[in-house]
Amino acid sequence: MLEYSFMQNAFWASIFISILCPCIGIFLVLRRYSMIGDTLSHASLAGVTAGLLCGQNPVLGAFVFTSFCGALIEFLRNSFKKYTDLILTVVLALSVGVAITIISSGKLHANADSFMFGSILTVTQTDLIMIGVLSILSVLTLTFLYHPLLYIAYDEEAAMIAGVKVKTINYIFSILVAAAISVSIRIVGVLVLSSMIALPVATALQLGKSFRQTLLLSITFSIVDIMTGLFASYFLNVAPGGFTALVSVAVLALVLLGKKVAVTVRTSLENQHSA
């Protein structure tokens, strides 16, 4: 199946996604910001439709609009300190409003549906270059900002005392989230995109004994989830986004079950030993 060029494009795009998404996701999950992923994935749909309307690359459109919304969330955080969830509602309303208005206007001469559910057929060579460049730049930035991001997530005040420019890094991180979402929408689709960011991390958190190990496990689970979803969608002729989400939930359930069984076995062995 990898002899088909569309499958090769999808394969490489999936590799980029499965590395970038958990790298972003681990910081979102640990900062209790998982729902930002959901809001920004809806923002990406508005960017896609705006890009298609203007005759631009939809991935680029998604990146620009999602970055704008990510920065807007950071900016509004100062105005709604006590109601931060309201910010997501505001940005969600703006994004969905833009997307629905453009789609329903009838001026769109392209199909935006594939971005809703994800598709392995639609990743073009241009998309792949865009996805590759955004992913590599994002991973390099994350590597450079690894310690500040870790500390902002763990203890923001300590980070501030150490001289970390928390506000600036939060804005940069918003753009990184936007990049991760933009590169993922082609394959995974808007509707289940946030689960790609959060679920591998949720699974890794069950097993990780350190931050570094949790990050590496998140990437491993993400590769397993997305690759299984990609190949299964080819053979089953279904949208890859939905099936990848199902695989992610199944892997999480298996890990939780395995953990429970391991604890039960260990306890019974200890009881036998002490008896």
Residue 109 or 209 having the CB closest to other proteins: 209
DSSP-derived 3-state class of residue 78? coil
Residue 36 or 188 having the CB closest to other proteins: 36
Beta carbon of residue 241, minimum distance to other proteins (angstroms, whole number): 28
Beta carbon of residue 116, minimum distance to other proteins (angstroms, whole number): 33
Site for other proteins in 141-200 (CB under 8 A): 147-148, 150-151, 153-164
Beta carbon of residue 25, minimum distance to other proteins (angstroms, whole number): 13
DSSP-derived 3-state class of residue 271? helix
Q: Is 55 in the site for other proteins (CB under 8 A)?
A: no
Contact 180, 21 (CB under 8 A): yes
Q: Is 212 in the site for other proteins (CB under 8 A)?
A: yes
Residue 107 or 167 having the CB closest to other proteins: 167
Residue 11 or 151 having the CB closest to other proteins: 151
Contact 192, 242 (CB under 8 A): yes
Which of 164, 242, 235, 131 shows the shortest CA–CA distance to 196? Answer: 242
Beta carbon of residue 214, minimum distance to other proteins (angstroms, whole number): 4
Question: In sequence order, which residues have a C-beta less than 8 Å from that of residue 243 and are 6 or more positions away?
Answer: 228, 229, 232, 233, 236
Q: Is 209 in the site for other proteins (CB under 8 A)?
A: yes
Q: Is 85 in the site for other proteins (CB under 8 A)?
A: no
Beta carbon of residue 206, minimum distance to other proteins (angstroms, whole number): 10
Distance in angstroms (rounded) separating the CA atoms of residues 182 and 261: 39
String marking each residue 7-36 x if it binds other proteins according to CB under 8 A: -----------------------x-x----
Residue 162 or 253 having the CB closest to other proteins: 162
Beta carbon of residue 85, minimum distance to other proteins (angstroms, whole number): 15
Q: Is 210 in the site for other proteins (CB under 8 A)?
A: yes
Q: Is 80 in the site for other proteins (CB under 8 A)?
A: no
Question: In sequence order, which residues have a C-beta less than 8 Å from that of residue 58 and are 6 or more positions away?
Answer: 47, 48, 49, 51, 52, 110, 112, 115
* Strand ranges for 52-203 from DSSP E: none
Tokens representing 262 are 């391991």
Q: Which of 211, 227, 232, 249 binds other proteins (CB under 8 A)?
A: 211
Sign of the four-CA dihedral 170, 32, 212, 131:
negative
Measured from the Cβ of residue 34, the count of other Cβ atoms closer than 10 Å reads 18
Residue 55 or 163 having the CB closest to other proteins: 163
The pair phi, psi for residue 165, each rounded to 5°, is -85, 85
Q: Is 37 in the site for other proteins (CB under 8 A)?
A: no
Report angle CA 203, 59, 229 to the nearest 5 degrees.
35
Beta carbon of residue 125, minimum distance to other proteins (angstroms, whole number): 39
Applying CB under 8 A, the residues found at the interface with other proteins are 30, 32, 147-148, 150-151, 153-164, 205, 208-214
